[in-house]
Chains A and B, each alone.
Chain A
Amino acid sequence: MSDDHVYLSLAEGHDDSDARWAFGTGFEDPLHGVDTAVPETVDAARLAATCLALGDDALVLAQRLAEWVTRAPELEEEMALANIGLDLLGQARLLYARCGQTDGTGRTEDAYAYFRDTGDFRNVRLAELPNGDFAHSVLRLLMFASWRLAHFTELAGTPDPVLAAIAAKGVKELTYHRQYAAEWVVRLGDGTEESHARMLTALESQAPYWEELFAAEDVRDAVLADLRQVLDAAGLPVPDPAPLPGSGRDGEHTEHLAPLLAELQSVARAHPEATW
């Protein structure tokens, strides 16, 4: 081991010595060796729609999480939220790429992220709600990660090999996102009077958006049971509100999505031929 610098010794033993990576290599391509042909038994249009919806969820929430950078209560939390956002961004890229291969348009991931308008996005409205306070953000992350984890766990066995590989990779990331969010929900729910009150406010304002997540998938009971466990530990009630009409899955969004996309897309649209 090299004693001169701890990070050098940590990076030792990685197989290739690519100088671009300061602190270790050995990254694995999650799609390495996966056949990208759509199996005959799979409905390509339905597969593309699934990839688009899940990609949009991830892109929009990644953007919301990135908004915490420079605004989080502690440097450590800022890093955590940005990391989680980058995980989701990585998922969005893979899902958009798969969508482009299967919806017949051959579009690139950038075309989906930067050159579609609000009504074309298929993310759930829960993802686009403004961050609000920290309680609001961690509760949203808990619900989103719990649902996505359950959904991805099922998708890991889906007949399309690419989507299955993307889901299998995502399960490991989402397990951590859920753990991070659950720790904070318990900490705040079971914390001071102020933090408890803020969690209650967050629950009341977000719960009407939950039903939208469950529209197409049969993970509702499992996710709600999972959520109940965390809320019980946090000393918070499990709300059961009437769901809001409409759905982001049909392109119906709140007024908050358009400004988010305007910021997200502004650079790419100002320089449409740029590469990065």
Chain B
Amino acid sequence: MSDPENWPLYEVFIRGKRGLNHVHVGSLHAADDQMALTHARDLYTRRNEGVSIWAVRSDHIAATTRDEKDPFFAPSADKVYRHPTFYDIPDDVPHI
């Protein structure tokens, strides 16, 4: 931690009661990993939302930038054959 005045930022991910995966719910400041989990518990699970918490330092996340939008994502927009839209998905198969 280079800045002693400010605690580093953490991103918080919570898995809902019956959710399949952790989803990003927000961020918080904490002095270390353990405090980040404690704070996440107090800030983001007060209303019965979750059963599991992940917290990760925001500066440890690699993210795409706006400039990369076209080369990264635009080419997939017109390739309909990559989507499984030609299959009938049975009603009792969830989460596709």
* Cross-chain contact B23 with A23 (CB below 8 angstroms): no
In whole angstroms, what is the CA distance A79 to B7 when docked? Answer: 16
How close is A106's CB to chain B, nearest CB, in angstroms?
33
| Chain A residue nearest in CB terms to B24 | A6
Q: Tell which of B18, B29, B46, B48 touches A12, judged by Cβ atoms closer than 8 Å.
A: B18
- Distance between Cα atoms of A14 and B17 in the complex (Å): 8
B30 proximal to A (CB < 8 A): yes
Residues on the A chain within 8 Å of B65, using CB: none
Out of B16, B39, B41, B48, name the residue touching A25 (CB < 8 Å): B48
Chain A window 177-211, contacts with chain B (Cβ cutoff 8 Å), 1 for yes, 0 for no: 00110010001000000000000000000000000
CA distance A206 to B88 in the complex (A): 70
Q: Which residue of A lies closest to B48 (CB)?
A: A24
Contact (Cβ within 8 A) B38 A12:
no
A74 pairs with B7, CB closer than 8 A: yes
Interface residues of A, dominant DSSP: helix
Complex CA gap A12/B23 in Å reads: 13
Assign chain B's interface to a size class.
20 to 34
- A contact residues, total (Cβ < 8 Å): 27
Contacts of B7 in A (CB 8 A): 74
A179 vs B35: C-alpha distance in the bound complex, in angstroms?
11
* A9 engages B23 (CB within 8 Å): yes
The answer on a CB contact under 8 Å between B49 and A24 is: yes
Q: Which chain B positions have C-beta within 8 A of A75?
A: 29
Tell me, yes or no, whether A13 is within 8 Å of chain B by CB: yes
Q: Which chain A residues (74-128) contact chain B, with CB distance < 8 Å?
A: 74-76, 79-80, 83
Q: Are B25 and A80 in contact (CB under 8 A)?
A: no
How does the 8 Å CB contact mask read for B3-29 relative to A, with 1 for contact and 0 for none? 000010000001011111001110011
Evaluate contact between A180 and B38: CB separation under 8 angstroms.
yes
Query: B25 is contacted by which of A7, A26, A76, A176 (Cβ under 8 Å)?
Result: A7
Q: Which one of A11, A79, A176 contacts B49 once the chains associate, using CB atoms below 8 Å?
A: A11
A6 touches B17 (CB 8 A): no
Cα separation A76 to B44 with both chains bound (whole Å): 11
Is A10 touching B19 in the complex (CB atoms < 8 A)? yes
A12-B30 Cα distance, complex, nearest whole Å: 29
Would A76 and B30 count as touching, CB distance under 8 A?
yes
Which residues from chain A contact B43 at a C-beta distance below 8 Å?
Answer: 76, 79
Chain A residues with CB below 8 A from B59, complex form: none
Please tell me if the beta carbons of A10 and B16 are within 8 angstroms of each other in the complex: yes
Residue of A nearest to B14 (CB): A10
B42 within 8 A of A: yes
Among A6, A14, A22, A76, max chain B CB count under 10 A is at A76
Q: Cβ of B29 and Cβ of A83 under 8 Å apart? A: no
The docked-state distance in angstroms from the alpha carbon of A83 to that of B38 is 12
Contacts of A176 in B (CB 8 A): 41
Residues facing B in A34-89 (CB within 8 A) are: 74-76, 79-80, 83
Q: Give chain B nearest CB distance to A245 CB in angstroms.
A: 38
Q: Besides A13-B18, A74-B7, A80-B38, 6 other CB < 8 A contacts? A: A10-B16, A23-B49, A24-B16, A26-B17, A74-B29, A76-B28
**Can you list 5 pairs linking A and B with CB atoms under 8 Å apart?**
A1-B20, A7-B49, A9-B19, A10-B49, A26-B17
By a beta-carbon cutoff of 8 Å, the part of chain A in contact with chain B is 1, 6-7, 9-14, 21-27, 74-76, 79-80, 83, 176, 179-180, 183, 187
